A and B are shown apart, each in its own frame.
Chain A
C-alpha cells in the first residue's frame, strides 16, 4: 500500500510569489490535514479537508488556502509569500477524523 505522497520535495520561491504544494492520501483515506513546521519548532495545524470540504483551519492568514479534489488529493496554496513562510509543510491523511494519522515526507519551502 502506497503511503501519503507529497510533491515537490523542495520548493524555492521569492517573497511575494505564490507556492502550490500537493498531497495524495493513502488509498481509501478521505481526510487530509496540512501542518506547518518552522525550523526547530513544533507542528502547527493549518487546514483539514474531508470529503472535498474544508472542515477546520488553524490560526493562519487567508493567504494560506487549499482544496481537496474528488479523488481526495489535496493542494495547499500560499499567496504573497513572506520570509517567515519558510518551513516544512507536512500533509497527513486518515480514514476518518479521529483515526490514526499517517504523514507524508513533507515539502520544504524556502522563501528568499
Chain B
C-alpha cells in the first residue's frame, strides 16, 4: 500500500516564528488533506489539496503531485497552533482507504 512520511517528527518554536512541515507519499494520490489535532484530540480540517497551492490566513499549503510531496507553511506561529499536524492521502476513489502519516508534533512556546 501507499506509504506516507512526515518530517520533522517534532518541532519546537517560539511564538512568532515561521515553520514548514513536509509530507512525502510513495504513489500518486487523488486526495490529500492536512489536519491539525489539538491537545483535546479534535481533528480540524486545514486543507484539501491534491495539487497546487492554497492559503488560509497564516497557513498555506502546496502539493507537488508529480514529485509526491506536500508542504504546510505556518507563519507567525501562535501558542494555539500547538498540537499534531497530520497529512492523509487516498490513492483512488474505488476502495483504497485514507492513509495517515505519523504526524508532526508542534509546540509553540510563548
Contact = CB atoms under 8 A, between A and B. Distances in A.
Given A98-B92, A105-B41, A106-B41, A45 B98 contact: yes
A43 B86 contact: yes
Contacts of A96: 93
Contacts of B93: 96-98
Main secondary structure of the interface of A (DSSP, over half): strand
Instruction: Place the interface of chain B in its size category.
Output: 20 to 34
Which among B48, B98, B99, B101 has the greatest number of chain A C-beta atoms within 10 A?
A: B98
Interface string B73-92: 00000000000001010101
Size bracket, chain A contacts:
20 to 34
B45 interface: yes
A56 interface: yes
B3 interface: no
A58 B97 contact: yes
A43 B6 CA distance: 14
B18 interface: no
Contact of A98 (B41, B90, B100): B90
Contacts of B42: 103, 105-106
17 contacts: A33-B97, A33-B98, A42-B102, A45-B99, A48-B97, A55-B95, A58-B97, A88-B41, A92-B43, A96-B93, A98-B31, A98-B92, A100-B48, A101-B45, A103-B42, A105-B40, A105-B41
Of all A-B residue pairs in the complex, the 9 with the closest CB atoms, nearest first, are: A98-B93, A103-B43, A100-B48, A43-B100, A45-B97, A42-B102, A98-B31, A56-B97, A97-B93
